[in-house]
Chains A and B, each alone.
Chain A
Amino acid sequence: MSRPRSQKATITIRLTQERHAVIKRLCSLKGMTQTGYLSSLATEQARRELKEHAVREYLGGRASLSELARKTGLDVPTIMEAVAPGEVEEKRAVEGFLKAARTLAETHSDPEFYELAVKAVAA
Protein backbone atom coordinates (compact mmCIF):
# COMPACT_ATOMS: atom_id res chain seq x y z
CA MET A 1 0.00 0.00 0.00
CA SER A 2 1.45 3.35 -0.93
CA ARG A 3 1.69 6.12 1.67
CA PRO A 4 -0.20 9.30 0.91
CA ARG A 5 2.26 11.99 -0.14
CA SER A 6 2.01 15.36 1.56
CA GLN A 7 1.62 18.22 -0.83
CA LYS A 8 4.62 20.46 -1.08
CA ALA A 9 4.97 24.06 -2.16
CA THR A 10 7.89 25.28 -4.22
CA ILE A 11 9.62 28.57 -3.56
CA THR A 12 12.41 29.75 -5.79
CA ILE A 13 15.08 31.94 -4.26
CA ARG A 14 17.88 33.74 -6.05
CA LEU A 15 21.20 34.11 -4.28
CA THR A 16 24.42 35.88 -5.13
CA GLN A 17 27.37 33.55 -5.79
CA GLU A 18 28.91 34.57 -2.45
CA ARG A 19 25.80 33.79 -0.43
CA HIS A 20 25.31 30.54 -2.25
CA ALA A 21 28.92 29.54 -1.55
CA VAL A 22 28.41 30.13 2.20
CA ILE A 23 25.29 27.96 2.32
CA LYS A 24 26.85 25.28 0.14
CA ARG A 25 29.89 25.03 2.41
CA LEU A 26 27.80 24.77 5.58
CA CYS A 27 25.47 22.18 4.09
CA SER A 28 28.39 20.08 2.98
CA LEU A 29 29.85 20.23 6.52
CA LYS A 30 26.48 19.35 8.06
CA GLY A 31 25.77 16.65 5.51
CA MET A 32 22.47 18.30 4.61
CA THR A 33 20.89 19.24 1.34
CA GLN A 34 20.61 22.96 0.69
CA THR A 35 16.86 22.61 0.30
CA GLY A 36 16.54 20.79 3.63
CA TYR A 37 18.72 23.33 5.38
CA LEU A 38 16.97 26.40 4.00
CA SER A 39 13.47 25.05 4.53
CA SER A 40 14.09 24.11 8.19
CA LEU A 41 15.91 27.39 8.85
CA ALA A 42 13.15 29.49 7.32
CA THR A 43 10.39 27.56 9.07
CA GLU A 44 12.01 27.82 12.50
CA GLN A 45 12.69 31.53 12.01
CA ALA A 46 9.14 32.16 10.82
CA ARG A 47 7.68 30.30 13.81
CA ARG A 48 9.82 32.32 16.19
CA GLU A 49 8.78 35.58 14.57
CA LEU A 50 5.11 34.59 14.61
CA LYS A 51 5.39 33.98 18.36
CA GLU A 52 7.17 37.30 18.89
CA HIS A 53 4.51 39.08 16.87
CA ALA A 54 1.75 37.41 18.92
CA VAL A 55 3.39 38.39 22.22
CA ARG A 56 3.90 42.01 21.10
CA GLU A 57 0.35 42.38 19.89
CA TYR A 58 -1.15 40.72 22.97
CA LEU A 59 0.88 42.68 25.50
CA GLY A 60 0.24 45.87 23.57
CA GLY A 61 -3.49 45.21 23.98
CA ARG A 62 -3.97 45.28 20.20
CA ALA A 63 -5.35 41.77 19.78
CA SER A 64 -6.99 39.01 21.78
CA LEU A 65 -5.57 35.50 22.08
CA SER A 66 -8.21 34.11 19.81
CA GLU A 67 -7.52 36.69 17.10
CA LEU A 68 -3.81 35.99 17.33
CA ALA A 69 -4.37 32.24 17.08
CA ARG A 70 -6.24 32.85 13.83
CA LYS A 71 -3.71 35.30 12.43
CA THR A 72 -0.55 33.39 13.34
CA GLY A 73 -1.81 29.81 13.05
CA LEU A 74 -0.35 29.10 16.51
CA ASP A 75 -2.53 27.45 19.12
CA VAL A 76 -3.64 29.45 22.17
CA PRO A 77 -1.58 27.46 24.75
CA THR A 78 1.57 28.16 22.70
CA ILE A 79 0.82 31.90 22.61
CA MET A 80 0.04 31.98 26.34
CA GLU A 81 3.28 30.17 27.09
CA ALA A 82 5.19 32.68 24.97
CA VAL A 83 3.62 35.60 26.85
CA ALA A 84 5.47 34.51 30.03
CA PRO A 85 7.60 37.44 31.24
CA GLY A 86 11.34 37.74 31.56
CA GLU A 87 13.13 37.57 34.91
CA VAL A 88 13.01 41.31 35.61
CA GLU A 89 9.31 41.64 34.80
CA GLU A 90 8.47 38.56 36.85
CA LYS A 91 10.40 39.97 39.82
CA ARG A 92 8.52 43.25 39.53
CA ALA A 93 5.16 41.46 39.34
CA VAL A 94 5.98 39.31 42.37
CA GLU A 95 7.09 42.37 44.36
CA GLY A 96 3.80 44.09 43.58
CA PHE A 97 1.87 41.00 44.65
CA LEU A 98 3.76 40.70 47.94
CA LYS A 99 3.49 44.42 48.65
CA ALA A 100 -0.28 44.21 48.29
CA ALA A 101 -0.35 41.06 50.46
CA ARG A 102 1.67 42.79 53.18
CA THR A 103 -0.65 45.82 53.18
CA LEU A 104 -3.66 43.52 53.46
CA ALA A 105 -2.03 41.47 56.23
CA GLU A 106 -1.42 44.68 58.21
CA THR A 107 -4.90 46.07 57.52
CA HIS A 108 -6.58 42.87 58.72
CA SER A 109 -4.04 42.21 61.51
CA ASP A 110 -3.41 38.86 59.86
CA PRO A 111 0.37 38.32 59.64
CA GLU A 112 -0.18 34.73 58.51
CA PHE A 113 -1.77 36.04 55.31
CA TYR A 114 1.52 37.61 54.28
CA GLU A 115 3.41 34.43 55.19
CA LEU A 116 1.03 32.43 53.01
CA ALA A 117 1.56 34.84 50.13
CA VAL A 118 5.34 34.53 50.48
CA LYS A 119 5.04 30.73 50.43
CA ALA A 120 2.71 30.91 47.43
CA VAL A 121 5.20 32.96 45.47
CA ALA A 122 8.07 30.66 46.39
CA ALA A 123 6.19 27.54 45.31
Chain B
Amino acid sequence: MQCILTKVKRRATFDSSFWVHAVSLDVVEFLLDDYVLVCSPAVERELGGENPTASKLRALCAQGRIQRAKARAEKIKLYGLGERAAINLALEQRMLLLIDDWRPYEAAEALGVETVNSVAYLVHLLARRRLAADRVLSALAKLVKRRRMRTEWTTAGLKLVAEIRRQQTKEGKTS
Protein backbone atom coordinates (compact mmCIF):
# COMPACT_ATOMS: atom_id res chain seq x y z
CA MET B 1 0.00 0.00 0.00
CA GLN B 2 1.33 3.34 -0.93
CA CYS B 3 1.22 6.07 1.63
CA ILE B 4 1.50 9.64 0.47
CA LEU B 5 2.26 12.20 3.11
CA THR B 6 1.40 15.73 2.26
CA LYS B 7 2.20 18.70 4.42
CA VAL B 8 -1.00 20.43 5.45
CA LYS B 9 -0.23 24.06 5.70
CA ARG B 10 -1.92 26.26 8.21
CA ARG B 11 -3.47 29.50 7.03
CA ALA B 12 -1.83 32.60 8.43
CA THR B 13 -2.47 36.27 8.04
CA PHE B 14 -0.16 39.14 8.91
CA ASP B 15 -0.04 42.82 9.70
CA SER B 16 2.14 45.42 7.98
CA SER B 17 4.85 45.47 10.67
CA PHE B 18 5.45 41.73 10.30
CA TRP B 19 5.50 41.93 6.50
CA VAL B 20 8.06 44.77 6.51
CA HIS B 21 10.31 42.66 8.75
CA ALA B 22 9.76 39.46 6.76
CA VAL B 23 10.96 41.23 3.61
CA SER B 24 13.90 42.99 5.23
CA LEU B 25 15.03 39.84 7.09
CA ASP B 26 14.61 37.77 3.93
CA VAL B 27 12.33 35.08 5.38
CA VAL B 28 9.40 35.38 2.96
CA GLU B 29 10.22 32.10 1.16
CA PHE B 30 10.27 30.25 4.49
CA LEU B 31 6.87 31.71 5.35
CA LEU B 32 5.44 30.66 2.00
CA ASP B 33 6.77 27.19 2.62
CA ASP B 34 5.25 26.99 6.10
CA TYR B 35 1.88 28.67 5.69
CA VAL B 36 -0.87 29.54 3.27
CA LEU B 37 -0.47 33.27 3.58
CA VAL B 38 -3.56 35.43 3.43
CA CYS B 39 -3.42 39.20 3.22
CA SER B 40 -6.24 41.58 4.02
CA PRO B 41 -6.76 44.50 1.61
CA ALA B 42 -6.35 46.99 4.47
CA VAL B 43 -2.83 45.71 5.18
CA GLU B 44 -1.98 45.88 1.50
CA ARG B 45 -3.25 49.46 1.35
CA GLU B 46 -1.32 50.73 4.32
CA LEU B 47 1.93 49.29 2.97
CA GLY B 48 1.73 52.02 0.36
CA GLY B 49 2.42 52.11 -3.34
CA GLU B 50 5.97 52.59 -4.45
CA ASN B 51 8.32 50.79 -2.09
CA PRO B 52 10.06 47.38 -2.29
CA THR B 53 8.02 45.93 0.59
CA ALA B 54 4.67 46.74 -1.02
CA SER B 55 5.89 45.69 -4.48
CA LYS B 56 6.96 42.30 -3.16
CA LEU B 57 3.53 41.72 -1.63
CA ARG B 58 1.70 42.79 -4.78
CA ALA B 59 3.89 40.53 -6.93
CA LEU B 60 3.26 37.50 -4.71
CA CYS B 61 -0.49 38.21 -4.69
CA ALA B 62 -0.48 38.51 -8.47
CA GLN B 63 1.34 35.16 -8.73
CA GLY B 64 -1.30 33.61 -6.49
CA ARG B 65 1.30 32.73 -3.85
CA ILE B 66 -0.46 34.93 -1.31
CA GLN B 67 -4.23 34.99 -1.10
CA ARG B 68 -6.38 38.03 -0.43
CA ALA B 69 -9.28 37.89 2.03
CA LYS B 70 -11.12 40.02 4.52
CA ALA B 71 -13.25 39.28 7.56
CA ARG B 72 -17.02 39.38 7.05
CA ALA B 73 -17.63 41.08 10.36
CA GLU B 74 -15.58 43.45 12.50
CA LYS B 75 -15.53 41.92 15.96
CA ILE B 76 -12.91 44.28 17.25
CA LYS B 77 -12.64 47.94 16.43
CA LEU B 78 -9.34 48.75 18.12
CA TYR B 79 -6.25 50.19 16.46
CA GLY B 80 -5.66 51.14 12.85
CA LEU B 81 -7.30 49.65 9.80
CA GLY B 82 -4.59 47.13 8.84
CA GLU B 83 -4.07 45.69 12.31
CA ARG B 84 -7.80 45.58 12.94
CA ALA B 85 -8.40 43.81 9.62
CA ALA B 86 -5.66 41.24 10.30
CA ILE B 87 -6.89 40.54 13.85
CA ASN B 88 -10.52 40.20 12.72
CA LEU B 89 -9.54 37.88 9.88
CA ALA B 90 -7.47 35.68 12.20
CA LEU B 91 -10.25 35.64 14.76
CA GLU B 92 -13.04 34.84 12.32
CA GLN B 93 -11.22 32.23 10.24
CA ARG B 94 -9.04 30.81 13.03
CA MET B 95 -5.85 31.75 11.29
CA LEU B 96 -2.45 32.21 12.82
CA LEU B 97 -1.65 35.90 13.16
CA LEU B 98 1.86 37.05 12.30
CA ILE B 99 2.31 40.43 13.96
CA ASP B 100 5.19 42.54 15.30
CA ASP B 101 3.56 45.69 16.61
CA TRP B 102 3.36 44.96 20.34
CA ARG B 103 0.14 46.79 21.30
CA PRO B 104 -2.15 45.08 18.80
CA TYR B 105 -0.13 41.86 19.36
CA GLU B 106 -1.14 41.90 23.02
CA ALA B 107 -4.73 42.79 22.19
CA ALA B 108 -4.92 39.88 19.74
CA GLU B 109 -3.48 37.49 22.33
CA ALA B 110 -6.04 38.66 24.88
CA LEU B 111 -8.77 37.84 22.36
CA GLY B 112 -7.45 34.30 22.05
CA VAL B 113 -5.82 34.67 18.62
CA GLU B 114 -2.72 32.56 18.11
CA THR B 115 0.06 35.04 17.45
CA VAL B 116 3.65 34.78 16.28
CA ASN B 117 6.17 37.60 15.99
CA SER B 118 9.32 37.79 13.87
CA VAL B 119 11.61 36.85 16.76
CA ALA B 120 9.64 33.68 17.53
CA TYR B 121 9.56 32.78 13.85
CA LEU B 122 13.34 33.19 13.52
CA VAL B 123 13.87 30.98 16.58
CA HIS B 124 11.53 28.38 15.05
CA LEU B 125 13.61 28.38 11.83
CA LEU B 126 16.76 27.79 13.89
CA ALA B 127 15.16 25.00 15.94
CA ARG B 128 14.14 23.29 12.69
CA ARG B 129 17.70 23.71 11.38
CA ARG B 130 16.42 25.71 8.44
CA LEU B 131 18.42 28.79 9.35
CA ALA B 132 21.88 28.78 10.92
CA ALA B 133 22.53 30.53 14.24
CA ASP B 134 24.66 33.22 12.61
CA ARG B 135 21.81 34.23 10.29
CA VAL B 136 19.30 34.29 13.12
CA LEU B 137 21.66 36.40 15.22
CA SER B 138 22.18 38.78 12.30
CA ALA B 139 18.43 39.17 11.96
CA LEU B 140 18.01 39.78 15.69
CA ALA B 141 20.86 42.32 15.63
CA LYS B 142 19.15 44.11 12.75
CA LEU B 143 15.91 44.36 14.71
CA VAL B 144 17.76 45.59 17.80
CA LYS B 145 19.68 48.22 15.83
CA ARG B 146 16.54 49.57 14.19
CA ARG B 147 14.69 49.65 17.53
CA ARG B 148 11.85 47.86 15.81
CA MET B 149 10.95 45.27 18.43
CA ARG B 150 10.40 45.27 22.16
CA THR B 151 13.64 44.64 24.02
CA GLU B 152 11.97 41.85 26.00
CA TRP B 153 11.24 40.02 22.75
CA THR B 154 14.73 40.27 21.30
CA THR B 155 16.32 39.33 24.63
CA ALA B 156 14.07 36.29 24.89
CA GLY B 157 14.99 35.41 21.29
CA LEU B 158 18.68 35.66 22.09
CA LYS B 159 18.28 33.35 25.10
CA LEU B 160 16.44 30.81 22.99
CA VAL B 161 19.06 30.90 20.25
CA ALA B 162 21.76 30.19 22.85
CA GLU B 163 19.73 27.33 24.33
CA ILE B 164 18.95 25.76 20.95
CA ARG B 165 22.60 26.01 19.94
CA ARG B 166 23.56 24.23 23.16
CA GLN B 167 21.05 21.45 22.50
CA GLN B 168 22.02 21.08 18.85
CA THR B 169 25.72 20.90 19.74
CA LYS B 170 24.91 18.21 22.37
CA GLU B 171 22.86 16.24 19.83
CA GLY B 172 25.67 16.55 17.30
CA LYS B 173 28.12 15.09 19.82
CA THR B 174 25.90 12.16 20.82
CA SER B 175 24.74 11.14 17.34
Contact = CB atoms under 8 A, between A and B. Distances in A.
Contacts, number: 133
A67 interface: yes
A93 B149 CA distance: 11
Given A80-B17, A123-B141, A116 B148 contact: no
A49 interface: no
Contacts of B53: 77
B16 to A, nearest CB: 4
Contact of B141 (A68, A83, A120): A120
Contacts of A100: 155, 158-159
Contacts of B141: 94, 97, 117, 120-121, 123
Contacts of A101: 137, 158, 162
A76 B82 contact: yes
Given A76-B20, A76-B82, A110-B169, A64 B51 contact: no
Interface stretch (A20-28, A36-44, A84-92): A84-92
Contact of A66 (B48, B84, B159, B169): B84
Interface of B: 15-17, 20, 46-49, 51, 53-54, 79-84, 101, 103-104, 133-134, 137-138, 140-141, 144-148, 151, 154-155, 158-159, 161-163, 165-166, 169
Main secondary structure of the interface of B (DSSP, over half): helix
| 10 nearest CB pairs, A to B | A75-B48, A66-B80, A67-B80, A76-B16, A120-B137, A66-B83, A104-B162, A120-B141, A66-B82, A120-B138
Contacts of A113: 133, 161-162, 165
B17 A76 contact: yes
A68 B104 CA distance: 13
Contacts of B159: 100, 104
Contacts of B151: 93, 96
A50 interface: no
Contacts of A104: 158-159, 162
Contact of B80 (A59, A69, A80, A97): A69
B154 to A, nearest CB: 7
